[in-house]
Amino acid sequence: MSEAVLTDTGDVLPGGARGIVADFSADKQAFQVPWGKAMMWFFLLSDTFIFGTFLTAYMTVRMSVRDAWPVPSEVFALSFGGEPIPLILIAIMTFVLISSSGTMAMAVNMGYRGERNKAFWLMMATAAFGAMFVGMQAFEWTKLIEEGVRPWSNPMGVAQFGATFFMITGFHGLHVSVGVIYLIVVGRRVKSGFYDRTRGNYEMVEITGLYWHFVDLVWVFIFAFFYLW
Protein backbone atom coordinates (compact mmCIF):
# COMPACT_ATOMS: atom_id res chain seq x y z
CA MET A 1 0.00 0.00 0.00
CA SER A 2 2.45 2.61 -0.96
CA GLU A 3 1.08 4.17 -4.07
CA ALA A 4 1.03 7.91 -3.96
CA VAL A 5 -2.37 9.55 -4.06
CA LEU A 6 -3.04 12.68 -6.01
CA THR A 7 -5.34 15.06 -4.19
CA ASP A 8 -7.71 17.65 -5.53
CA THR A 9 -5.28 20.44 -4.77
CA GLY A 10 -2.68 18.79 -6.93
CA ASP A 11 -0.48 17.63 -4.08
CA VAL A 12 1.00 14.21 -3.95
CA LEU A 13 0.36 12.28 -0.77
CA PRO A 14 2.98 9.78 0.28
CA GLY A 15 2.12 6.16 1.03
CA GLY A 16 3.41 3.76 3.68
CA ALA A 17 4.52 4.92 7.08
CA ARG A 18 4.94 8.48 5.89
CA GLY A 19 1.38 8.25 4.70
CA ILE A 20 0.23 7.77 8.27
CA VAL A 21 1.96 10.96 9.29
CA ALA A 22 0.54 12.69 6.25
CA ASP A 23 -2.90 11.43 7.18
CA PHE A 24 -2.75 12.99 10.62
CA SER A 25 -1.57 16.24 9.20
CA ALA A 26 -3.87 15.99 6.22
CA ASP A 27 -6.10 18.83 5.27
CA LYS A 28 -9.58 19.22 6.73
CA GLN A 29 -9.58 16.57 9.43
CA ALA A 30 -6.95 14.95 11.61
CA PHE A 31 -9.35 12.29 12.85
CA GLN A 32 -12.01 10.77 10.64
CA VAL A 33 -14.78 11.29 13.16
CA PRO A 34 -17.61 13.80 13.54
CA TRP A 35 -16.84 17.10 15.25
CA GLY A 36 -18.92 16.33 18.29
CA LYS A 37 -17.18 13.06 18.90
CA ALA A 38 -13.73 14.60 18.62
CA MET A 39 -14.77 17.31 21.01
CA MET A 40 -16.06 14.76 23.49
CA TRP A 41 -12.67 13.03 23.39
CA PHE A 42 -10.88 16.24 24.22
CA PHE A 43 -13.32 17.03 26.98
CA LEU A 44 -12.86 13.60 28.52
CA LEU A 45 -9.10 14.00 28.32
CA SER A 46 -9.42 17.22 30.28
CA ASP A 47 -11.82 15.59 32.72
CA THR A 48 -9.34 12.76 33.18
CA PHE A 49 -6.93 15.36 34.47
CA ILE A 50 -9.55 16.60 36.93
CA PHE A 51 -10.19 13.17 38.36
CA GLY A 52 -6.49 12.35 38.14
CA THR A 53 -5.72 15.41 40.25
CA PHE A 54 -8.45 14.56 42.73
CA LEU A 55 -7.15 11.04 43.17
CA THR A 56 -3.52 12.12 43.35
CA ALA A 57 -4.44 14.64 46.00
CA TYR A 58 -6.33 11.91 47.85
CA MET A 59 -3.34 9.58 47.78
CA THR A 60 -1.01 12.31 48.98
CA VAL A 61 -3.35 13.22 51.80
CA ARG A 62 -3.86 9.61 52.81
CA MET A 63 -0.14 8.91 52.88
CA SER A 64 0.77 12.04 54.79
CA VAL A 65 -1.79 12.05 57.61
CA ARG A 66 -0.33 10.95 60.90
CA ASP A 67 -3.27 9.19 62.56
CA ALA A 68 -4.90 5.99 61.45
CA TRP A 69 -7.10 5.89 58.36
CA PRO A 70 -10.44 4.16 59.00
CA VAL A 71 -10.56 0.54 57.80
CA PRO A 72 -12.70 0.46 54.64
CA SER A 73 -14.05 -3.07 55.08
CA GLU A 74 -15.51 -2.05 58.43
CA VAL A 75 -16.71 1.40 57.52
CA PHE A 76 -18.35 0.28 54.32
CA ALA A 77 -20.10 -2.80 55.69
CA LEU A 78 -23.83 -3.39 55.81
CA SER A 79 -25.46 -5.60 58.42
CA PHE A 80 -28.02 -8.16 57.40
CA GLY A 81 -29.56 -9.98 60.35
CA GLY A 82 -26.74 -8.90 62.61
CA GLU A 83 -24.00 -10.18 60.29
CA PRO A 84 -21.89 -7.33 58.83
CA ILE A 85 -21.05 -8.02 55.19
CA PRO A 86 -18.08 -5.91 54.07
CA LEU A 87 -18.42 -3.85 50.92
CA ILE A 88 -21.71 -5.41 49.92
CA LEU A 89 -23.35 -2.12 48.92
CA ILE A 90 -20.36 -1.07 46.88
CA ALA A 91 -20.34 -4.39 45.13
CA ILE A 92 -23.96 -3.88 44.11
CA MET A 93 -23.36 -0.27 43.07
CA THR A 94 -20.41 -1.28 40.95
CA PHE A 95 -22.40 -4.09 39.39
CA VAL A 96 -25.23 -1.70 38.53
CA LEU A 97 -22.92 0.81 36.96
CA ILE A 98 -21.10 -1.80 34.90
CA SER A 99 -24.42 -3.19 33.70
CA SER A 100 -25.38 0.28 32.61
CA SER A 101 -22.31 0.35 30.39
CA GLY A 102 -23.62 -2.80 28.78
CA THR A 103 -27.05 -1.35 28.02
CA MET A 104 -25.38 1.82 26.77
CA ALA A 105 -23.24 -0.12 24.30
CA MET A 106 -26.36 -1.88 23.03
CA ALA A 107 -28.13 1.45 22.67
CA VAL A 108 -25.31 2.77 20.50
CA ASN A 109 -25.58 -0.30 18.32
CA MET A 110 -29.34 0.06 17.95
CA GLY A 111 -28.94 3.74 17.19
CA TYR A 112 -26.67 3.03 14.25
CA ARG A 113 -29.03 0.34 13.01
CA GLY A 114 -31.76 2.92 13.02
CA GLU A 115 -33.91 1.02 15.52
CA ARG A 116 -35.06 4.15 17.23
CA ASN A 117 -37.38 2.58 19.71
CA LYS A 118 -34.93 -0.02 20.97
CA ALA A 119 -32.21 2.57 21.22
CA PHE A 120 -34.52 4.78 23.23
CA TRP A 121 -35.49 2.06 25.69
CA LEU A 122 -31.92 0.93 26.14
CA MET A 123 -30.91 4.50 26.89
CA MET A 124 -33.70 4.76 29.42
CA ALA A 125 -32.49 1.53 31.00
CA THR A 126 -29.03 3.03 31.21
CA ALA A 127 -30.41 6.17 32.80
CA ALA A 128 -32.39 4.07 35.26
CA PHE A 129 -29.26 2.15 36.27
CA GLY A 130 -27.51 5.48 36.67
CA ALA A 131 -30.30 6.83 38.85
CA MET A 132 -30.18 3.66 40.91
CA PHE A 133 -26.47 4.15 41.41
CA VAL A 134 -26.98 7.72 42.59
CA GLY A 135 -29.77 6.55 44.87
CA MET A 136 -27.57 3.94 46.49
CA GLN A 137 -24.83 6.50 46.84
CA ALA A 138 -27.27 8.79 48.64
CA PHE A 139 -28.14 5.89 50.90
CA GLU A 140 -24.46 5.28 51.66
CA TRP A 141 -23.88 8.95 52.38
CA THR A 142 -26.87 9.02 54.72
CA LYS A 143 -25.63 5.98 56.57
CA LEU A 144 -22.17 7.46 57.04
CA ILE A 145 -23.58 10.80 58.11
CA GLU A 146 -25.79 9.05 60.66
CA GLU A 147 -22.71 7.34 62.00
CA GLY A 148 -21.20 10.75 62.55
CA VAL A 149 -18.92 11.03 59.52
CA ARG A 150 -18.53 14.65 58.43
CA PRO A 151 -16.15 16.30 55.98
CA TRP A 152 -14.37 17.93 58.93
CA SER A 153 -14.37 15.03 61.40
CA ASN A 154 -15.45 11.46 62.00
CA PRO A 155 -15.45 9.03 64.88
CA MET A 156 -13.45 6.33 63.08
CA GLY A 157 -10.17 8.10 62.49
CA VAL A 158 -8.61 11.08 60.72
CA ALA A 159 -10.83 13.86 59.46
CA GLN A 160 -9.39 13.66 55.95
CA PHE A 161 -11.23 10.39 55.43
CA GLY A 162 -14.61 12.10 55.35
CA ALA A 163 -13.29 15.12 53.47
CA THR A 164 -11.81 13.16 50.56
CA PHE A 165 -14.64 10.64 50.51
CA PHE A 166 -17.46 13.13 50.26
CA MET A 167 -15.61 15.38 47.87
CA ILE A 168 -14.54 12.74 45.36
CA THR A 169 -17.58 10.47 45.42
CA GLY A 170 -19.70 13.61 45.36
CA PHE A 171 -17.94 14.92 42.29
CA HIS A 172 -18.33 11.55 40.61
CA GLY A 173 -21.97 11.30 41.63
CA LEU A 174 -22.49 14.71 40.06
CA HIS A 175 -21.04 13.36 36.84
CA VAL A 176 -23.42 10.39 36.96
CA SER A 177 -26.40 12.68 37.61
CA VAL A 178 -25.44 14.91 34.69
CA GLY A 179 -25.09 11.77 32.61
CA VAL A 180 -28.60 10.66 33.52
CA ILE A 181 -30.04 14.00 32.41
CA TYR A 182 -27.93 13.90 29.25
CA LEU A 183 -29.23 10.39 28.49
CA ILE A 184 -32.82 11.45 28.96
CA VAL A 185 -32.46 14.50 26.72
CA VAL A 186 -30.73 12.60 23.94
CA GLY A 187 -33.00 9.59 24.40
CA ARG A 188 -36.12 11.69 23.90
CA ARG A 189 -34.65 13.17 20.76
CA VAL A 190 -33.89 9.68 19.49
CA LYS A 191 -37.46 8.64 20.08
CA SER A 192 -38.96 11.70 18.44
CA GLY A 193 -36.88 11.23 15.32
CA PHE A 194 -35.07 14.54 15.87
CA TYR A 195 -31.79 13.18 14.51
CA ASP A 196 -33.43 11.87 11.36
CA ARG A 197 -34.50 15.40 10.66
CA THR A 198 -31.26 17.21 11.56
CA ARG A 199 -28.24 15.17 10.74
CA GLY A 200 -29.60 11.87 9.62
CA ASN A 201 -27.48 9.73 11.89
CA TYR A 202 -27.23 8.66 15.48
CA GLU A 203 -23.67 9.61 16.33
CA MET A 204 -25.10 11.59 19.24
CA VAL A 205 -25.98 8.32 20.95
CA GLU A 206 -22.40 7.21 20.63
CA ILE A 207 -21.12 10.51 21.96
CA THR A 208 -23.39 10.19 24.99
CA GLY A 209 -22.07 6.67 25.34
CA LEU A 210 -18.47 7.89 25.39
CA TYR A 211 -19.28 10.12 28.32
CA TRP A 212 -21.14 7.35 30.11
CA HIS A 213 -18.37 4.78 29.72
CA PHE A 214 -15.88 7.34 30.94
CA VAL A 215 -17.86 7.97 34.09
CA ASP A 216 -17.99 4.21 34.67
CA LEU A 217 -14.29 3.87 34.14
CA VAL A 218 -13.58 6.62 36.65
CA TRP A 219 -15.73 4.74 39.15
CA VAL A 220 -13.49 1.70 38.82
CA PHE A 221 -10.57 3.81 39.99
CA ILE A 222 -12.50 5.45 42.80
CA PHE A 223 -13.70 2.03 43.86
CA ALA A 224 -10.18 0.65 43.92
CA PHE A 225 -8.66 3.61 45.75
CA PHE A 226 -11.34 4.16 48.35
CA TYR A 227 -12.73 0.74 49.08
CA LEU A 228 -9.94 -1.72 48.33
CA TRP A 229 -6.93 0.24 49.60
Partner 1 sequence: MAYVAIADRDHELEHHDPTTFITKYIWSQDHKVIAIQYSITALFVGFVALVLSGMMRLQLGFPDSFSFITPVSYYQFITMHGMIMVIFLLTALFLGGFGNYLIPLMIGSRDMVFPYMNMVSFWVYLVSVIVLLSSFFVPGGPTGAGWTLYPPQAILPGTPGTDWGIILMLVSLALFIVAFTMGGLNYVTTILQARTRGMTMMRLPLSLWGIFMATILGLLAFPALFVSAVMMTLDKAIGTSFFMPAVISMGEQLDHAGGSPILFQHLFWFFGHPEVYIVALPGFGLVSDLLSTHARKSIFGYRMMVWAILAIGGLSFVVWAHHMYVSGMNPYFGFFFATTTLIIAVPTAIKVYNWVLTLWQGDIHLTVPMLFAIGFIFTFTHGGLTGIFLGNVVVDLPLSDTYFVVAHFHMVMGVSPIMVVFGAIYHWYPKITGRMFNETLGKWHFWLTFFGTYAIYLPMHYLGFLGVPRRYFSMGDTEFMPESAFVLNQSITISALFVGVVQLLFLYNIIVSLKKGKEAGPNPWKATTLEWQTPDTPPKHGNWGHELPVVYRWAYDYSVPGYHDDFIPQNVPPNPDIPAHDDGTHHS
Binding residues (CB under 8 A) for partner 1: these are: 4-5, 7-14, 22-33, 35-36, 38-39, 42-43, 45-47, 49-50, 52-54, 57, 60-61, 64-67, 151-152, 158-160, 163-164, 167, 171
Question: Shortest gap between Cβ of 198 and partner 1 (angstroms)?
Answer: 10
- Taking phi over 0 as left and psi of -120 to 50 as alpha, with beta for the rest, 193 belongs to left
State the sign of the Cα–Cα–Cα–Cα dihedral 133, 138, 144, 146: negative
Toward partner 1, which CB reaches closer, 68 or 228?
Answer: 68
Toward partner 1, which CB reaches closer, 50 or 138?
Answer: 50
Toward partner 1, which CB reaches closer, 26 or 96?
Answer: 26
Toward partner 1, which CB reaches closer, 23 or 115?
Answer: 23
Question: Shortest gap between Cβ of 45 and partner 1 (angstroms)?
Answer: 7
Question: Shortest gap between Cβ of 173 and partner 1 (angstroms)?
Answer: 14
Toward partner 1, which CB reaches closer, 85 or 174?
Answer: 174
Euclidean distance between CA atoms 194 and 23, whole angstroms: 33
Question: Shortest gap between Cβ of 145 and partner 1 (angstroms)?
Answer: 13
Question: Shortest gap between Cβ of 188 and partner 1 (angstroms)?
Answer: 19
What string of DSSP letters covers the chain?
A: ----EE-TTS-EE--HHHHHHHHHT-SS-SSSS-HHHHHHHHHHHHHHHHHHHHHHHHHHHHHH-SSPPPPHHHHTEEEETTEEEETHHHHHHHHHHHHHHHHHHHHHHHHHHT-HHHHHHHHHHHHHHHHHHHHHHHHHHHHHHHTT-BTTB-TTS-HHHHHHHHHHHHHHHHHHHHHHHHHHHHHHHHHHTHHHHHTSS-HHHHHHHHHHHHHHHHHHHHHIIIII-
Toward partner 1, which CB reaches closer, 50 or 85?
Answer: 50
Question: Shortest gap between Cβ of 113 and partner 1 (angstroms)?
Answer: 22
Question: Shortest gap between Cβ of 219 and partner 1 (angstroms)?
Answer: 18
Toward partner 1, which CB reaches closer, 11 or 147?
Answer: 11
Question: Measured at the alpha carbon of residue 183, what is the angle toward residues 177 and 187, in degrees to the nearest 5?
Answer: 155
